[in-house]
Each structure stands twice: as structure tokens, then as C-alpha cells.
Structure 1
Amino acid sequence: MRLPALLAATLWLAPAPALAWGHRAHAAIDRAALAALPADGPLFLRRHADTIADSATLPDSWRAASEPFSKIEEDPNHGWFREQFAFLRPIPRSRYAFVIALYREHERLQASDPARAARTNVRWTGTLPYAAMESYGRLVVAMRAVRAAGSDRRARVLAEGQATYEVALLGHYIGDGAQPMHDSVHHDGWVGDNPNGYTRDRSVHGRFESGFVDRIGLSERDLAPHVAPLGHEGGDLFDAVLAYLDVAGDKVALTYQLEKRGGFADPTDAAVRALVIERAASGAAMLRDMIARAWRESASAPRRDLPDPLDLAAPAFDPATGSAPAAP
């Protein structure tokens, strides 16, 4: 049975709570990632594990209505509602090109499907992979500074502090991406056609990622045996992030199935526990891979042979964004 268009639009447009994995899960993901770093990785980060874990939900604090500029910029960075951009292939390698493509689709839909047009925008689609890649780039720069500091204690402290901050941010976005409801329009209850009778209760998000997680006392020790071996050492990292988000998004239906049979309310439910651990361990592995790769990349000086993306003569320069997309 279809929801009336007005009700569907209301569900889409109602203000959403600023939810993400609770602090416990984010901190566990961060600590498990640092513990799984390879021997030739940036092991100095382990000295800052408490700071990284304590800052695990910092980006969520930037999403309050009391700070509207930061909220407007930050909110989309925590989601990737892939049903919203099924029309868009390939995914642009530029945050701004992505936003413009959404707006053009919004304009196209206004007359034929105003309810869908109203949610075809950056807020109701998300920019999570861009936030992750932007943080990754800043992490590489910070790690170069760590290497360059040498025995200069003051320079080392400053560089390690910046790297610690970027790992905390990267960990938050990658951690969010591991949670299936961050990768779907069904982030706060099932939306639209609902033949399986999944809950439309907006509290479902928090009941899974915070309520259940807190009840089982999730820690990095639970994740450690399930963190995959080091990967993503080569290939295109943006594509790898997109694929990682797709894997999480494919588990949305399973998440709702487990909720439907009451699993979220029972801390002894083995299937829900297994899903939480599998997803959080996946986040820890991806974060570890990106940290280790950033460290390897930082061993080389910045390439000087690449075109400046802001140069009007750069390949694929887009006058609508004022830049060329990131090269593969």
C-alpha cells in the first residue's frame, strides 16, 4: 500500500535528530583501527588513542541549530542516501559537481514529482564520501609534517596534534558509513512502500546504534577478532570508499528485519550483536586501511606534475564548479 504523497513528503522533510553511532561504538571503532595498524604504520597515533576516542563524536557537536552555519555545512557529511542519486552515474569526483547534479535533478522533478523534488538536494542525499576523502587529504598533509618535524619537538607536537584531529574526523565519517541506516533513505524509519511492515518509528536509528550497543557494552576487544587484514593498499581510494558504503547499504533490510522481531530490545540477541560487531569491525578495518595508506603516501613529497584543479586549462575543468574533479 502506498503512502499518500503528502504523508511521504512529511516523513522525508520532518527535522531529523542528529544521530550517528553513539560514542561507545565510534570510540571502539577508532581504538580497534589503531590497534590493527601495521608495524610500519603511524604507530605514534597509539599514544593519542585516548584523545582520538574521546573526540570520536566531535563532528556531531557541530550539528546543532544554535550554530546554523556549521549545521548546514556538516549535516550532509554524515549520510549517503544512495536511493536518492540512482539517476547519477558515475558519482562525480567533486563535492560541488555532486551538489550541482542534485540541484539539476531537483529542477527536473519539480513539475512531475514535487514530493521527490523536495528531497532531491544535498541535505537529503548526503556527502559522506566527500567528507571522508577531504579529511584523508588533510591527514596526508599532517603526516608529512610529522615526518618533516624530525627531532624538533615543538614541530612534532603540532604535527601530531593535527594528525590526531584528522584521524578523529576521518574515523567519525568512516564509522558512520559502516552503519547501514547512514547509507539509505530509511535512516530514521522505513519510508515509502512498506510490504514487509518494517517500523516507521524514527527512534529505530538510535535504538540500534546507541541503545543496543550500550546494552552490550561494545568495546574494541569485541571488534579485534573481526577486523579484516590490511587492504586498500592500491587502487582508487574514492572508489573504495563508495564500495564500502554500498556494502553497508546492502544490510539495511536485514537491520529492519532484526528490529521487527524485537531484536533491538534484547541484549542477548545473537543476530543483532553479530551485525553490530560485523559493521563496527568493518568500519575499523576501513579506517585502519586509510590511516596506513595516508602514512605511506606521506613518505613522498607532493607531486608537482599534477594539473592544478583550479586552472581553467586543467583537463575536465568544470566552469559550473570552478574546478576540475579529483583525478583517479
Structure 2
Amino acid sequence: MLVAVPAAQVGAWGSSGHRVIGVVAMQSLPETLPDFLRTPGAASDVGEYSREPDRWKGAGQPHDRERDTAHFIDMDDEGRVMDHRGMTMDQLPRLKSEYDAALTRAGLDVDTAGYLPYAIMDAWQNLERDFAYWRVLNAAETRETDLAKREWYRADRLRREQLILRDIGVLSHYLGDASQPHHTTIHFNGWAGETNPEGFTTSRRTHSAFESEYASRNLNPVIVRASMAPLNVEGFDVKARTASYLNTTLGTVIPFYRLEKDGAFRDVDPRGAEFLNTRLTAGAEQLRDYVVAAWNVSAKSSVGWPAVKVAEVEAGTTDPWTAMVGDD
């Protein structure tokens, strides 16, 4: 059953758009993933958790400054962070601290630039850890003959399932941000820079008007789900996939501004709605793929302390009790 988004409940992209991306992606997961993920309740939960990073805002400092800049990456028209001094997505350092240092050396403001790719990669790696623990807990619960230990495994598995849904929601939010053109560009709120050869709007309401009033009236979950491409996780590499995804979204910035200039984001013009739902579809596709890829990678992981291999626990050749409960 597709998500319903009543008009009274929708607001900015941070509610309606993020909710649709989370729900539709969960509804599209393949049967190879655990049953608890493929229920209407799980889809609904992820839809709501997808809004969570926006709901964190306003906690104070340092919380807000550190987290608010996770929602975007400002690239110029050539795909470099901020301007010619910044790196491309393919040149991103391994660590965010290295990214921050490189921008600082180049004379660029880290907080102005944003760090969305690292937020995405961090959330995906966290989900992979979740899945690895779930695999171990599920396998151990199935085989354990000691009733007290089995009950502990069961309780911890259920706790992990709630964490998984919440963590998919966080990943969903950042992948959703990355599907919105304004979250990838220096032109995030009207055309910026010294030149404007095509005469694009410079209105400071450009961003909010698109992702709030317009999105809430014109998003269509049925179209989003029907438009999704097939699963694509072959050779998945989170850094390369994230760079490619952000570059693809950056490529929609000028088309957006051309459509805006041509009046396409009036409700009577189908071109604007098509553009909007295509961007939401991109977010849902990526979330589905990232979740499946995290599940697949988790089968080869090791977790706990002392570490146990997931594959050995699932095969029944290793007892994970101490690794899961702790030896202290």
C-alpha cells in the first residue's frame, strides 16, 4: 500500500518529500532482506524517521553548527566545492577531518561548504554495522538452547530492529537531501556568482518555494514508485556511488533554473511536477540500493568484542555470546 500524504500533514521537503522517499524505498526492498523491514509498519516508521535530522535543529551549539552543515555540499558549475580552489567529488579525501583541513588550506569556509557526502557515507556505514549485529543476534537466537540466553538474544534483536529503522531513516534523510538540486550547489537560493548569462532568478525564495509549497502540492508517491529503476548494487562502493549521485544531482541545477525561468513550477504546468517527482524517485532509488548494499556487505563483517565473524555465527561454527554480551 502506497503512502498517503494528507494535505494537512505536509510541509517543507523536510516532511513531505523526505517521508515519501523513505516509505517508497522501504516498499521497494527485495525479498532477500529480513521480513521485519518489509512491513507497512516498517515503511511508515522509516518515513517518519526520515524527517529526524531536520527535527534535531535548534538544540544549540555545538550541536547545530556541526549537524546543520551535513545537509548540503555547495559545488560550483564545474563540480568543485565552492569554487576553483575546492576539490571535486571524485577527489574527496577519505576522512571528513582531511576534507575540512583541505578546504581550510584553500581558504574556504568549511561550514559554508557543507559536508553532505560524509553524512551519507557515515550513515551507510552505521547501517552496515546494524545489519551485521542483527545477523549475529538472529542466528544465535535461532540456535541457542539455553532459555535465558535465547531470551537475551531475542530482546537485543528487537532493540536492534528499532535502531535499524531509525538509522535507515537518517540515511534516507541525507540521500533525500542529495536528490534536491539546491542541496548540491552554490546556487542554493537563487542564482549566485558574478555572472548570470541566462538571466536566472536571484530570488531568495527559490529554494523554499520549490521544496515546500510546490512540493507539497505536486509530489505523487504512486508516480515515484512506478518510476524507480531496477535495483543497482553490483560492485557497490559507497564513496564512488555517493560521488556519482551528487554529481548527477548537480547536473539538474541548470535544468531546474531553466524550468523556473520558463514558468514550469506553476501548478498547471506538468513539466515542473515531472521534474519534482523525478528527483524524489532518485532519492528513493538510492535509499533502496544503499540499504540492500549495506545488508549484503554485512554478511562478510565481524562484530562484537572479542570480534566474531558474521558468516561463522550464521553457519553455526562460532558461539557469539561473549562477543555480544561482553566479558566484563
Range of TM-score over shorter length: 0.7 to 0.9
- From the superposition, tell whether residues 260 and 49 of structure 1 become closer, same or farther in structure 2 (CA, over 3 Å): same
- Please give the alpha-carbon distance, in whole angstroms, between the structure 1 residues aligned to 2:26 and 2:303: 28
- Please give the alpha-carbon distance, in whole angstroms, between the structure 2 residues aligned to 1:188 and 1:45: 37
* Corresponding pairs, count: 270
Matches for 1:59-74 after TM superposition, within 5 Å: 59-64=53-58, 66-74=59-67
Q: Which residue of 1 aligns with 2:281?
A: 281
| Alpha-carbon distance, 1:236 to partner | 2.3
Q: Which residue of 2 aligns with 1:78?
A: 71
1:91 aligns to 2:84 (yes or no): no
Deviations 1:103-133 (A, max 9, x none): 0011xxxxxxxxxxxxx21121111110111
Q: Which residue of 2 aligns with 1:194?
A: 196
- Please give the alpha-carbon distance, in whole angstroms, between the structure 2 residues aligned to 1:45 and 1:254: 36
| Alpha-carbon distance, 1:35 to partner | 1.4
Q: Which residue of 2 aligns with 1:176?
A: 177
- From the superposition, tell whether residues 182 and 42 of structure 1 become closer, same or farther in structure 2 (CA, over 3 Å): farther
Percent identical pairs in the alignment equals 31
Aligned mate of 2:126, from 138, 156, 159: 138
Structure 1 residues without counterparts, runs of 5 or longer = 1-18, 107-119, 305-328
- Please give the alpha-carbon distance, in whole angstroms, between the structure 2 residues aligned to 1:44 and 1:283: 22
Do the aligned partners of 1:85 and 1:125 also contact (CA within 8 Å) in 2? no
| Alpha-carbon distance, 1:41 to partner | 2.2
Aligned mate of 1:212, from 190, 211, 214: 214
| Alpha-carbon distance, 1:255 to partner | 0.8
Which amino acid is the alignment partner of residue 159 of structure 2?
L
Q: Which residue of 2 aligns with 1:251?
A: 252
| Alpha-carbon distance, 1:43 to partner | 4.1
Q: Which residue of 2 aligns with 1:263?
A: 264
- From the superposition, tell whether residues 291 and 85 of structure 1 become closer, same or farther in structure 2 (CA, over 3 Å): farther
Do the aligned partners of 1:20 and 1:176 also contact (CA within 8 Å) in 2? no
- From the superposition, tell whether residues 191 and 85 of structure 1 become closer, same or farther in structure 2 (CA, over 3 Å): closer
Q: Which residue of 2 aligns with 1:297?
A: 297
- From the superposition, tell whether residues 39 and 46 of structure 1 become closer, same or farther in structure 2 (CA, over 3 Å): closer
SS in structure 2 opposite 1:182? helix
| Alpha-carbon distance, 1:282 to partner | 0.8
Deviations 1:199-231 (A, max 9, x none): 111111111112111112x24322011111111
SS in structure 2 opposite 1:233? coil
1:164 aligns to 2:165 (yes or no): yes
| Alpha-carbon distance, 1:156 to partner | 1.6
- From the superposition, tell whether residues 85 and 166 of structure 1 become closer, same or farther in structure 2 (CA, over 3 Å): farther
- Please give the alpha-carbon distance, in whole angstroms, between the structure 2 residues aligned to 1:43 and 1:238: 28
| Alpha-carbon distance, 1:20 to partner | 7.0
| Alpha-carbon distance, 1:148 to partner | 1.9
Which moved further from structure 2: 205-214 or 229-238?
229-238
1:52 aligns to 2:53 (yes or no): no
- Please give the alpha-carbon distance, in whole angstroms, between the structure 1 residues aligned to 2:19 and 2:167: 15
Which amino acid is the alignment partner of residue 279 of structure 1?
R
- Please give the alpha-carbon distance, in whole angstroms, between the structure 2 residues aligned to 1:204 and 1:62: 24
Which amino acid is the alignment partner of residue 72 of structure 2?
G
Do the aligned partners of 1:223 and 1:281 also contact (CA within 8 Å) in 2? yes
Do the aligned partners of 2:191 and 2:201 also contact (CA within 8 Å) in 1? yes
1:233 aligns to 2:234 (yes or no): yes
Do the aligned partners of 1:56 and 1:168 also contact (CA within 8 Å) in 2? yes
- Please give the alpha-carbon distance, in whole angstroms, between the structure 2 residues aligned to 1:123 and 1:235: 29
- From the superposition, tell whether residues 220 and 291 of structure 1 become closer, same or farther in structure 2 (CA, over 3 Å): same
- Please give the alpha-carbon distance, in whole angstroms, between the structure 1 residues aligned to 2:122 and 2:34: 19
Larger radius of gyration: 2
- Please give the alpha-carbon distance, in whole angstroms, between the structure 1 residues aligned to 2:37 and 2:166: 10
Q: Which runs of 4+ in 1 moved over 6 A?
A: none
- Please give the alpha-carbon distance, in whole angstroms, between the structure 2 residues aligned to 1:249 and 1:175: 14
Which amino acid is the alignment partner of residue 259 of structure 2?
L
1:121 aligns to 2:109 (yes or no): yes
- Please give the alpha-carbon distance, in whole angstroms, between the structure 2 residues aligned to 1:161 and 1:212: 33
SS in structure 2 opposite 1:232? coil
- Please give the alpha-carbon distance, in whole angstroms, between the structure 2 residues aligned to 1:181 and 1:76: 14
- From the superposition, tell whether residues 43 and 194 of structure 1 become closer, same or farther in structure 2 (CA, over 3 Å): farther
Do the aligned partners of 1:188 and 1:201 also contact (CA within 8 Å) in 2? yes
Deviations 1:74-111 (A, max 9, x none): 111111112215442522121110000000011xxxxx
Aligned-residue RMSD, C-alpha:
1.9
Which amino acid is the alignment partner of residue 297 of structure 2?
E
- Please give the alpha-carbon distance, in whole angstroms, between the structure 1 residues aligned to 2:259 and 2:131: 42
- From the superposition, tell whether residues 43 and 283 of structure 1 become closer, same or farther in structure 2 (CA, over 3 Å): farther
SS in structure 2 opposite 1:68? coil
- Please give the alpha-carbon distance, in whole angstroms, between the structure 1 residues aligned to 2:31 and 2:289: 13
